Structure 1
Amino acid sequence: MKIAGLDIGTTGCKLTVFDENGNYLDKAYKEYPAIRKSEEHEIDADVIWQGVLSVMKEIGKNYPDIAGIGVTSFGETCVLADADGKPLHQAMLYTDPRGAKECKALVDGIGEKKLASMTGLKPHEMYSISKIMWIKKHKPEIYGKAEHIFLMEDYVVFSLTGKAQIDYSLAARTMAFDISALQWSREIFECAGIDMLLMSEPVPTGTSAGKIKPEIAELTGISSSAVIVSMSHDQVAAAVGAGVFSSDIAVDGAGTVECITPMCDELPELELMYEGNFAVVPYVIPGKYLCYAFSYTGGALIQWCVDTLAKQEKKEAAREGISVNTLLEGAESDPTGMLVLPHFAGAATPYMDIGSKGAIVGLTVATEVPEIYRACMEGVVYEMLLNKEYLEDYGVEFYMMHATGGGAKSKVWMQMKADILNVPITELETVDAGTVGSAMMTGIVTGCFKDLKDAAEHMIKKKKVYTPRGEMHEKYLVIYKRYRKLYQSVRPLV
């Protein structure tokens, strides 16, 4: 028996397969493009679907006896579809600026704090309901044809099984889901003028949607007895896969987006979370919640630095037979002293200011690319320290982090994070925690594991702990005190 996790991201999807004891066997990845123009940030949902079929075919060739696949996806992005689940338009990404007026209309109709108290989200146009309102207003012919409104998890689950269901955590990313009642908010949909019946049925994280369609089984080579499991928003899947089942531990999600995800033993004080723009979503453990502190550009900023500035270093790294990242990181060193505001795609928490821009401060004619690279790494972590301090002010504290995502492979960055944030960071053996978390829940559904504890014992393996160094923490804090003033200084200029 095999179990698998399917992680649908903004730039590609991956399917990872494990045996019945949770041992990693193989994975397949398919990249796909997003379309970003100044006023439109879109992705073709059908291209995502073709990517899913591609990775399933690749895995199906060698592992046809997969018992179940758990599906997790990025949040917010939604698509209107016909009765057969065929997309009717290009899906708007969360960074798409459209929907601001519609979000304001919702706030005017219901009230900002009431919306936040129901949904766990401070109102913002990034969330799905504002985008849906925009489509209805500006493309009524598309809205008129719609039989379904999907986010990417339930879009793929429906395409695989014919069952329209969405887990609680991803439903919460629409800004139309009541996180206390665990159901769609009729009041919000009525104010938005959107038919609530077009939405998928909300279900607990880890709920089976039934068996894969026979035609999909034939196409991919995966057994027709395989069940599809609605997992969650990708950050929730990563929390499960990282073993975050205690409020003492948080996830350090070091992907394209940098995200810190602590667990709360009860629903936090939403009015306080509202002040810091922190989102709260239901967790896989009933009565527990996760909250998100994040920067739009984590790994994305590092990649920008490599692609834009390190062209010569790429050639040098190729000659030396090492990765360009290893070359740029170099040996450990003291803080650069430079300040990088990592708002290259706008500011996320605690500001939620999509109009903010990035900045690099402290350049001289002697500055070289590796120094800018390290300063970018520092800037991402300073931003997360700012978020950590806000969370502590609101009563959310943690004393250990489990690192996931591609950035967790960087020993230099992991030690830098431990030093700046002043908490130990555990590197896990598998950095793809989203697919691990999805497979864990799938293993419970298919009978491989008794419960979460059993699944974690089989599938979560710790590799190394990076311990904060007091002397380095103090050095970074000197720079951080200046960093705290950076946003307020730069924002009026841009």
Structure 2
Amino acid sequence: MFCGIDLGTSSVKAAIFLPDGKMVAYARKECDMVSPRVGWSELNPQNYLENVYDVLSAVFNQYKGPVKSIALSSQAQACLPVDKDGKALYNIIVTMDNRTIEQYQYWKANYNEWDVYKKSGVPFSTIYALNKIMWHKQNNPEIYQRAWKFLCVQDYVMFKLTGCDPVIDYSLASRSMMLSIADNKWNQSLLAIAKIDIDKLAKPILSTTVVGKLKRKLSHWLGLSEPCDVIIGGHDQVCGAIGSGVIIPGMMMDACGTVDAMVTVLNDSKPRKAMMKKGLPIYGLVNLKNYITLAINTNGGLFLKWYKNTFYGAEMKDFMLRGKDIYSEIINCSADNPSDMYVLPHLEGAGSPYNDPTSMGAIIGLKSRYNRRDLSKAVLDSLAYEMKLNLLAIEKSTNCIINEIRIIGGGAKTPKWLQIKADVFNKEIVSLENNEAAVLGAAILGAIGIGYFSDIKQAIAQMVKPKRRYIPIEKNVAKYEEHFEEYQEIYKILKPLNKKIFNRINK
């Protein structure tokens, strides 16, 4: 029996799985985002840690049998300075925070992106931990000096669970802009440019490494009768790919969470300029024998949450009392035909393939005859179009044709939404018995780490189970393709205006 913890941005989850993949315990707690200034996004580290303890307590209360391992699936790009006692010196700055535009512009103005990409495997962006540490050094020099380590969420939680020296797995370290893809070591030249001391970083290790035992006091509090191994795990998108069985070229994972993310396995590890220009990274899967790329819409689930809170706020309590999932209700009650209205979902800038932190959201084609059902459909269609941009970018820049897409996360719960995506993408969509693939992927890494399974393929064969296939409906595909052509024009037309407005409100 194996426990996985998913350290997300909007929530923390934990689950316990049997060796056949059956989930026997599950818990989730939402995280409250802190926004001290426009464009800033933070998490309180103490509250976050309490959420981790709460979900662990909940699943161990649900399942009283022996648990052999605990492994982590973690959000990336977040950054937290801590002192030698592990005390947080600042809030966790998360992915969608855009305070690091100045650092991003510094890299763009002074360094060749292709040279940096060949070293780090990532294109320039505001999101990386490297930029966040640089921001601290420039704006909070006393915090930089006091900091023992600058940790991502994975290494912070691991340190708190085990008390062992901070470590970070290769997949998460690859999302920092500080790790060399050639040898999986911290890149000395990039750190020298940023003037970051390597001793302030956790040690990179393999995803299946047993870091240590759960702290005795914590183990006793959880009611465990025997010591439990804690495995480092991996980046949540990598864990999601493993938990959905996407480990060979031609398959893709589409994760619908706080961010929408697409992950696919590459044919080789060769950096390509075409990938860099579309904002697509390259880094190792957990076994370091295969390489993946990742496309991100940083506003996917975040936009849907904003839409829910803004337009369905009055009904949320009623939905909860009736035990209804409000997102499923929004989707199922949306209009049926492709919408003639569009939504540019760039609440916090644009991720790949644009990589534009100055882009902002918009509603296009609004008419007095439209109602909330119509607006809901426009939101769903547009979110699908945004990810189709990434799907096409991946196929064109990697020469890897996608044949099957496995959808995970909250967005995989509603058949209507999955059929919309199948029609928009014109690809076969597969849902899974377990939508919580990131938690399952972490549990799989834990099982491999303690030697229960010999490798990922064996574990996936036992624990990952497809549920239903959604085939594109031909008459819908043609309609959506026509609308997609129009959608692609919106960002281009609004880009200069959005940039002008962005610069004014962020002075």
When normalised by structure 2's length, the TM-score is 0.92
For residue 441 of structure 2, the aligned residue among 425, 437, 441 is 437
**What code does the residue aligned with 1:292 have?**
L
Amino acid at match of 1:448: Y
Name the SS of the counterpart of 1:228 in structure 2.
strand
State whether residues 332 and 412 of structure 1, in contact with CA within 8 Å, keep that contact through their aligned partners in structure 2. Answer: no
Say whether the 8 Å CA contact 1:16–1:27 is kept in structure 2: yes
1:339–1:362 CA contact under 8 A, matched in 2: yes
Provide the residue aligned with 2:15 in structure 1.
Answer: 16
Residue number in structure 1 paired with 2:124: 123
Partner in structure 2 of residue 155 of structure 1? 156
> Per-residue deviation at 1:248?
1.0
CA displacement at 1:381 relative to structure 2: 0.7
Matches of 1:233 and 1:317, distance apart in 2: 33
- Partners of 1:489 and 1:402 lie apart in 2 by 33
Structure 1 position 377, deviation (Å)? 0.5
Give the Cα separation in 1 of the matches to 2:74 and 2:342.
Answer: 33
SS at match of 1:492: helix
Q: Distance in 1 between matches of 2:102 and 2:243?
A: 38
> Equivalent residue for 2:92?
91
Change (3 A) 1:447 1:490: same
Q: Is the 8 A contact 1:347 1:355 kept in 2?
A: yes
Checking the alignment, whether the CA contact within 8 Å between 2:334 and 2:377 is kept in structure 1 is no
SS in structure 1 opposite 2:72? strand
Correspondence 1:71 to 2:75: no
What are the Cα deviations for residues 372-406 of structure 1, in whole angstroms up to 9, with x where unaligned?
01110100111111122222221232110011000
Distance change in 2, residues 1:53/1:357 (3 Å): same
Match of 2:290 in 1: 288
Q: 1:175 matched to which residue of 2?
A: 177
Distance 1:443 1:472, change over 3 A: same
- Per-residue deviation, residues 233-286 of structure 1 (Å, max 9, x unmatched): 100000000000110100011112111111112114332211111122211233
Counterpart of 1:52 in structure 2 is 52
Moved more, 119-128 or 168-177: 119-128
**Letter of the structure 2 residue corresponding to residue 228 of structure 1:** V
User: How far, CA to CA, are the matches of 2:66 and 2:82 in structure 1?
Assistant: 31
- The Cα of 1:8 is off from its aligned counterpart by 0.4
Q: Which moved more, 1:268-277 or 1:400-409?
A: 268-277
Partner of 2:201: 199
Does structure 1 retain, via aligned residues, the 8 Å contact 2:121–2:271?
no
In structure 2, relative to structure 1, the CA distance for the partners of 1:270 and 1:223 (3 Å cut) is farther
Tell me, in whole angstroms, the C-alpha distance in 1 between the residues paired with 2:181 and 2:14. 29
Quick check: 2:328–2:413 contact (8 Å CA) kept in 1? Answer: no
Work out whether residues 214 and 224 of structure 1, in 8 Å CA contact, stay in contact via their aligned partners in 2. no
Tell me by how many angstroms 1:108 deviates.
5.2
Query: In the TM superposition, what is the alpha-carbon distance from 1:287 to its structure 2 partner?
Result: 2.7
d(CA) in 1 for partners of 2:445 and 2:41? 32
SS of corresponding position for 2:263: strand
Q: Distance in 1 between matches of 2:79 and 2:208?
A: 21
| SS of alignment partner, residue 51 of structure 1 | helix
Aligned CA distance change for structure 1 residues 55 and 340 (closer, same or farther; 3 Å): same
CA contact (8 A) 1:250 1:262 kept: yes
Which residue in the other structure is 2:137 paired with? 136
Show the counterpart of 1:6.
5
State, as a whole percentage, how many aligned pairs show the same letter. 29
Matches within 5 A, 1:139-288: 139-161=140-162, 162-223=164-225, 225-288=227-290
Corresponding residue SS for 1:183: coil
Normalised TM-score (structure 1): 0.95
Alignment correspondent of 1:348? 351
Farther-moved stretch of structure 1 (427-436 vs 350-359): 350-359
SS in 2 for 1:300: helix
Are residues 1:481 and 2:485 paired? yes
**Structure 1: segments with no counterpart, 5+ residues:** none
How many angstroms apart in 2 are the aligned matches of 1:365 and 1:372?
11
Give the AA of the match of 2:302: A
Report the counterpart of residue 308 of structure 1 in structure 2.
Answer: 310
Q: 1:81 to 1:314 in 2, by over 3 A?
A: closer
Shift, 1:436, TM fit: 0.5
Deviations 1:77-127 (A, max 9, x none): 111111122211112122222223333444555432211111111112211
Alignment partners' CA distance in 1, 2:238 and 2:101: 27
Structure 2: which 5+ runs fail to align? 499-507
Say whether residues 1:339 and 2:342 are aligned partners: yes
Counterparts of 1:325 and 1:103, CA distance in 2 = 35
Q: How does 1:384-423 map to 2 (within 5 A)?
A: 384-394=387-397, 395-423=399-427
Instruction: Give the conservation status (yes or no) of the 8 Å contact 1:67–1:227.
Output: yes
1:224: how far off? Answer: 5.1
Give the superposition deviation at 1:141.
1.5
Cα pair distance change 1:314/1:27, threshold 3 Å: closer
In the alignment of these two chains, the number of paired residues is: 493
| Cα pair 1:116 1:270 within 8 Å, conserved | no
Alpha-carbon displacement from aligned partner over 1:317-346 (angstroms, at most 9, x marks no partner): 689875444443337722122111111221
363 and 317 in structure 1: CA distance in 2 versus 1, 3 angstrom threshold: farther
CA contact (8 A) 1:10 1:74 kept: yes
Alignment check: 8 A CA contact 1:21 1:448 kept: no
Q: Deviations over 1:264-317 (max 9, x none)?
A: 121143322111111222112333111111211222222222221235665886
Aligned AA (1:157): M
Choose 336-345 or 164-173, whichever is displaced more. Answer: 336-345
**1:472 and 2:471 are equivalent in the alignment:** no
Report the AA paired with residue 235 of structure 1.
Q
